[in-house]
C-alpha cells in the first residue's frame, strides 16, 4: 500500500468538483432512511446488521451517472457517506433500546416515547461523528500505509470502477425487487409458509429452515465459516438442549412462572422451551462471548487509544489544501459540550450528570478504539456489543453504588449504553467513509457534514421504525427476537439483582468458554444458540452458496466478479425485504394483513403451504444464480 508520503488521491487537492450538492444530500438521506429501517428490521430478527456502504455507492452511481447524466465520483461518495450512516445508527439503536420496550411489556416501566428514542439516537450519532473528526488526521492520513480500512478501501474501488456503475446498480435494484416480491408472497399474502420444520416422532428436537431471502443473504455475505458457527449453535440448542430439558425436566418448574416443563412442551412444543429456557442460555453465552472478545482485544485497545492520542498532537489541519480541511475544532468542542449538557438537562433522557460524564469519557474512548479497530480488522469484527456490555456493567454498578435502583436506574443504564453503542458504531462507519474519501480526494469537512446529515435523518426515522415493529409483532417474539437487546436487558437486571434463572444463564456462560477453548469464535456460535434453528439453517444455505462460488474452477477475475455480484444482489435483497417488512408492519397495525391473507381465505393446507415454501426457496436461489453465475459478461 502507498505510504502517506507517496500517496496521491484520485481527484487532486487543487481540483474542485461537485460533492455536497442538493442531489447528493436528497439521495443520501433517502438511502439512509431505507437502509436504516431495513437493517433495524434485520438486526432485530437475526442479531446482526450488514454494511450499507457498497450498495449505497452503486445505487448512487446508478442514479447520478446513468439517470441524471452527471459524472462526479465525489458526489457519489457523499451519497454513500450519508446513506451508510443509517445502517450504523440503526445497529447501535437496536442492540440496546428495545430493552426498554421489553421492560414495558413486563409492566416494569412506561414505554419510551418516540422523542426519547430520537434524542438518544441523535446525540449518540452526533458524538460519534464529532469524536472522529480530531482522529481523522491521526488514523486516516498519518497511518494510511498501516491501517487498511478494508470496507473503506473496497467502497473506493467500487466507486473508481465507475464504468460498471450501471450494471452494478441494476444488480442491487434487482435484488431489492425480487426480495420485495418474495417477502410479500410469504408474509403478506401468506401463500406459502415462512419456514418448514420437521420433528422426529418421540424426539423433542426440531430441525428445518426459513425461506426468507434476507436471511439467506446474511449467510452469503458473512460466508460459510460464520454461517456454520451459527448453524452449529442452533443445532446444539434445538437438537440437544431442548430434548434434554424435555427428557429430564418433566414436572420441574425452572423458568419464571408456574408451568412445568411437560406442560410448556405439551402446549407450545419446542418453541415454548426455546422461549422460556434456551433464550436465557443463549443470553448467557452471548454475554460471555462479548466479554471474552473484549478481553482478547484489550492489548490492541490500549495500544490503539494511546497511539491515537499521541498521533493527535499537532494533527490539526494546518494545510489549507481542500483535502485537509476538517470541521473547525471550536465547533466540535462546542458541540460536545452542548450535547453533554443536553444529555443531563433534557428531561426525556433518563441520565444524570454523572451518567453524562460516563458517556463522554467512555464514548471518546470507545470511538477511538472503534475507529482504529475497524481500520485493522474491518467493521464486521469490531466488538461493539462487547464494548456495550462493558459500559452497561460499569454504568449499572456506578448507579447502584450511588443509590439508584429500580426501573429508573435500569432505564438510565440502557440509555447510557445505547448512546455509547451508537457512538462506537457511527465512529467506525465515519472512519471507513473518511478512508474512502481520502483515497478518492474528497473534502473531509463536506464528508463530515454529510455524515451529520445522515445521522439526523436516521435518528428522526428510527423511533417510528422501532414503535412500528413493536406494535406489529413485539420485541422478543418469534418474528423479532431482538437477541442483542435481550442480552443488554439481562446484564442490567443481573447487576441490579433482578429475578433471573441464573442456572440457565451460567449454562450458557459455560458453553461459551468450552467453545472458546476449542477455538471456535464465541459470538456467532452464541447467536446461533439464541436464535431459532430454522433461521440459522436459512443463513447456512446462503453460506453454502457462497462457499460453492468461492470454490468454482474459473479464472480468478471472473470468480471475483461473480462473488461481488452476489454480495450486491444479496445487499439489495436485504434492503428489499426490510422495506416490505416495514410495510407489512403498517398493514398489521391497521388490520390490512387479515384482508390480504390468502392462506385463511383459500384454506391452504399446511402440506401445500410447505411444498410451496420449498419451491419458493428454490426460486430465490435461482434468481441469485441468474444475477451471478448465469449473468452474461463482456
- Asked whether residue 257 is domain-assigned, the answer is no
- Cβ contact 454:33 at 8 Å: no
101 compared with 375, residue with greater pLDDT: 101
One DSSP character per residue, 22-38 reads HHHHHHHHHHHHHHHHH
Give me the pLDDT at residue 123, please: 97
pTM for the model: 0.80
Report H helices in 199-319: 213-222, 224-236, 242-249, 261-273, 279-312
pLDDT average, residue stretch 488-506: 81
The model's confidence at residue 412, banded by pLDDT at 50, 70 and 90, is very high
- Measured distance CA(248)–CA(240) in Å, rounded: 12
pLDDT average, residue stretch 185-189: 93
Weakest mean pLDDT among 273-277, 429-433, 498-502: 498-502
- Asked whether residue 169 is domain-assigned, the answer is yes
One DSSP character per residue, 194-206 reads SEEEEE-TT---E
The model's confidence at residue 284, banded by pLDDT at 50, 70 and 90, is confident
Task: Quickly count helices (H) and strands (E) in the chain.
Answer: 26, 2
For 19, 138, 301, 321, the CA distances from 13, given in Å and listed in that order, are: 13, 19, 33, 6
Give me the pLDDT at residue 256, please: 61
Give me the pLDDT at residue 493, please: 86
- Measured distance CA(119)–CA(165) in Å, rounded: 37
Question: Looking at the DSSP assignment, which residues form a beta bridge with residue 209?
Answer: 196
The model's confidence at residue 5, banded by pLDDT at 50, 70 and 90, is low
Q: Is 541 helix (H, G, I), strand (E, B) or coil?
A: helix
- Measured distance CA(141)–CA(371) in Å, rounded: 13
380 pLDDT more than 90: no
Residue-wise pLDDT for 315-351, tens only, equals 444 457 889 898 988 899 899 999 999 999 999 999 9
Cα 303 to the chain's mean position, in Å?
26
Cα-Cα-Cα-Cα torsion 359, 351, 490, 294, nearest 10 degrees, comes to 0
- Cβ contact 100:459 at 8 Å: no
163 pLDDT more than 50: no
Weakest mean pLDDT among 131-135, 205-209, 612-616: 131-135
Give me the pLDDT at residue 443, please: 95
pLDDT average, residue stretch 556-563: 91
For 165, 388, 551, the CA distances from 454, given in Å and listed in that order, are: 23, 23, 38
Instruction: Mention every residue, 6+ apart, whose C-beta is less than 8 A from residue 517.
Output: none
The model's confidence at residue 631, banded by pLDDT at 50, 70 and 90, is confident
- Measured distance CA(393)–CA(16) in Å, rounded: 48
- Cβ contact 291:390 at 8 Å: yes
For 144, 250, 254, 268, 270, the CA distances from 259, given in Å and listed in that order, are: 60, 11, 9, 12, 15
Nearest to 18 by CA among 102, 74, 91, 78: 74
pLDDT average, residue stretch 112-138: 92
- Cβ contact 11:441 at 8 Å: yes
Give me the pLDDT at residue 502, please: 79
* Residue keyed to cell 449467510: 219
Average pLDDT over the chain, rounded to an integer: 86
165 pLDDT more than 60: no
- Measured distance CA(172)–CA(570) in Å, rounded: 8
Looking at the chain, the whole-number percentage of residues with pLDDT higher than 70 is: 91
pLDDT average, residue stretch 433-461: 95
- Measured distance CA(381)–CA(541) in Å, rounded: 22
Weakest mean pLDDT among 26-35, 180-189, 289-298: 289-298
pLDDT average, residue stretch 551-573: 90
- Measured distance CA(359)–CA(519) in Å, rounded: 34
Question: Looking at the DSSP assignment, which residues form a beta bridge with residue 198?
Answer: 207
Cα-Cα-Cα-Cα torsion 85, 86, 88, 92, nearest 10 degrees, comes to 130
- Measured distance CA(474)–CA(102) in Å, rounded: 8
Count of structural domains, the chain: 1
Weakest mean pLDDT among 33-47, 164-178, 268-282, 587-601: 164-178
The model's confidence at residue 594, banded by pLDDT at 50, 70 and 90, is confident
Give me the pLDDT at residue 364, please: 87
State which H helix or E strand residue 207 sits in. strand 206-210
pLDDT average, residue stretch 297-319: 61
- Asked whether residue 260 is domain-assigned, the answer is no
- Measured distance CA(589)–CA(582) in Å, rounded: 11
- Asked whether residue 6 is domain-assigned, the answer is yes
160 is in which domain, residue-wise? 1-199+302-310+339-497+558-634
- Asked whether residue 89 is domain-assigned, the answer is yes
- Asked whether residue 283 is domain-assigned, the answer is no
Weakest mean pLDDT among 69-73, 268-272, 454-458: 69-73
- Cβ contact 616:211 at 8 Å: yes
pLDDT average, residue stretch 380-386: 63
- Asked whether residue 272 is domain-assigned, the answer is no
Nearest to 575 by CA among 157, 174, 152: 174
Q: Provide the terminal-to-terminal Cα distance of the chain, rounded to the nearest Å.
A: 30
Give me the pLDDT at residue 590, please: 86
Give me the pLDDT at residue 508, please: 92
- Measured distance CA(58)–CA(158) in Å, rounded: 7
Nearest to 392 by CA among 353, 359, 344: 359
377 pLDDT more than 90: no
55 pLDDT more than 60: yes
- Asked whether residue 50 is domain-assigned, the answer is yes
53 compared with 545, residue with greater pLDDT: 545
- φ, ψ for residue 198, nearest 5 deg: -135, 130
- Measured distance CA(248)–CA(367) in Å, rounded: 47
Q: Cell numbers for 515, please give them.
A: 467453545
Residue-wise pLDDT for 193-242, tens only, equals 999 999 888 899 899 999 999 999 989 988 899 899 999 999 999 999 99
- Measured distance CA(566)–CA(571) in Å, rounded: 8
Give me the pLDDT at residue 498, please: 63
376 pLDDT more than 80: no
189 pLDDT more than 90: yes
Amino acid at each position: 500500500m502507498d505510504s502517506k508520503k507517496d500517496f496521491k488521491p484520485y481527484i487532486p487537492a487543487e481540483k474542485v468538483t461537485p460533492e455536497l450538492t442538493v442531489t447528493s444530500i436528497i439521495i443520501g438521506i433517502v438511502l439512509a432512511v431505507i437502509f436504516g429501517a431495513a437493517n433495524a428490521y434485520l438486526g432485530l430478527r437475526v442479531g446482526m446488521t450488514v454494511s450499507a456502504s457498497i450498495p449505497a455507492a452503486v445505487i448512487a452511481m446508478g442514479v447520478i451517472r446513468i439517470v441524471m447524466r452527471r459524472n462526479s465520483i465525489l458526489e457519489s461518495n457523499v451519497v454513500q457517506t450519508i446513506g451508510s450512516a443509517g445502517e450504523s445508527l440503526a445497529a447501535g439503536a437496536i442492540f440496546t433500546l428495545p430493552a426498554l420496550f421489553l421492560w414495558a411489556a413486563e409492566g416494569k416501566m412506561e414505554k419510551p416515547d418516540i422523542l426519547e428514542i430520537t434524542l438518544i439516537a441523535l446525540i449518540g450519532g452526533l458524538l460519534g461523528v464529532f469524536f472522529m473528526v480530531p482522529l481523522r488526521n491521526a488514523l486516516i492520513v498519518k497511518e494510511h500505509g498501516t491501517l487498511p480500512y478494508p470496507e473503506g478501501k473496497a467502497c473506493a474501488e467500487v466507486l473508481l470502477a465507475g464504468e460498471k456503475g450501471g450494471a452494478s446498480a441494476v444488480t442491487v435494484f434487482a435484488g431489492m425487487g425480487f426480495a420485495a416480491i418474495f417477502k410479500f408472497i410469504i408474509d403478506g399474502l401468506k401463500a406459502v409458509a415462512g419456514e418448514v420444520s420437521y420433528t422426529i416422532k418421540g424426539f423433542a428436537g426440531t430441525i428445518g429452515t426459513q425461506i426468507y431471502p434476507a436471511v439467506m443473504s446474511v449467510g452469503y455475505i458473512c460466508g460459510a465459516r460464520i454461517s456454520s458457527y451459527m448453524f452449529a449453535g442452533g443445532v446444539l440448542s434445538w437438537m440437544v438442549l431442548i430434548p434434554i430439558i424435555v427428557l429430564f425436566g418433566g414436572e420441574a418448574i425452572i423458568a419464571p412462572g408456574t408451568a412445568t416443563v411437560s406442560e410448556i412442551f405439551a402446549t407450545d412444543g419446542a418453541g415454548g422451551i426455546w422461549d422460556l429456557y434456551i433464550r436465557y442460555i443463549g443470553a448467557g453465552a452471548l454475554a460471555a462471548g462479548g466479554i471474552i472478545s473484549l478481553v482478547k482485544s484489550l492489548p490492541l485497545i490500549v495500544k490503539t487509544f494511546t497511539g491515537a492520542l499521541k498521533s493527535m498532537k499537532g494533527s490539526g489541519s494546518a494545510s489549507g489544501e481542500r483535502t485537509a480541511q476538517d470541521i473547525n475544532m471550536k465547533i466540535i468542542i462546542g458541540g460536545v459540550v452542548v450535547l453533554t449538557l443536553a444529555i443531563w438537562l433534557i428531561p426525556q433522557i433518563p441520565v444524570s450528570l454523572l451518567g453524562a460524564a460516563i458517556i463522554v469519557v467512555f464514548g471518546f474512548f470507545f470511538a477511538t478504539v472503534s475507529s482504529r479497530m475497524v481500520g485493522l480488522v474491518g467493521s464486521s469484527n469490531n466488538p461493539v456489543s462487547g464494548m456495550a456490555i462493558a459500559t452497561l456493567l460499569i454504568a449499572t454498578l456506578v448507579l447502584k453504588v450511588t443509590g439508584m435502583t429500580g426501573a429508573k436506574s435500569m432505564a438510565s443504564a440502557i440509555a447510557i449504553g445505547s448512546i455509547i453503542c451508537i457512538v462506537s458504531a457511527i465512529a467506525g462507519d465515519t472512519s471507513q467513509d473518511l478512508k474512502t474519501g481520502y483515497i478518492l480526494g474528497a473534502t473531509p469537512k463536506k464528508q463530515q457534514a454529510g455524515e451529520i446529515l445522515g445521522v439526523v435523518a436516521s435518528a428522526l426515522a428510527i423511533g417510528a421504525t422501532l414503535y412500528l415493529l413493536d406494535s406489529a409483532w413485539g420485541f422478543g417474539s418469534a418474528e423479532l427476537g431482538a437477541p442483542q437487546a435481550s442480552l443488554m436487558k439481562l446484564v442490567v437486571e443481573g447487576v441490579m439483582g433482578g429475578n433471573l434463572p441464573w442456572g440457565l444463564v451460567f449454562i450458557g456462560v459455560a458453553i461459551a468458554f468450552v467453545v472458546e477453548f476449542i477455538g471456535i469464535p464465541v459470538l456467532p456460535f452464541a447467536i446461533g444458540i439464541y436464535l431459532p434453528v430454522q433461521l440459522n439453517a436459512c443463513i447456512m444455505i446462503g453460506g453454502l452458496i457462497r462457499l460453492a462460488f468461492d470454490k468454482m474452477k474459473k479464472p480468478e477475475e471472473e470468480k471475483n466478479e461473480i462473488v461481488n455480484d452476489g454480495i450486491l444482489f444479496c445487499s439489495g435483497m436485504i434492503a428489499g425485504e426490510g422495506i416490505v417488512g416495514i410495510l407489512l408492519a403498517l398493514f398489521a397495525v391497521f388490520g390490512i394483513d387479515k384482508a390480504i391473507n390468502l392462506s385463511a381465505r383459500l384454506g391452504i393446507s399446511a402440506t401445500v403451504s410447505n411444498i410451496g415454501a420449498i419451491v419458493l426457496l428454490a426460486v430465490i436461489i435461482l434468481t441469485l444464480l441468474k444475477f451471478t453465475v448465469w449473468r452474461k459478461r463482456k
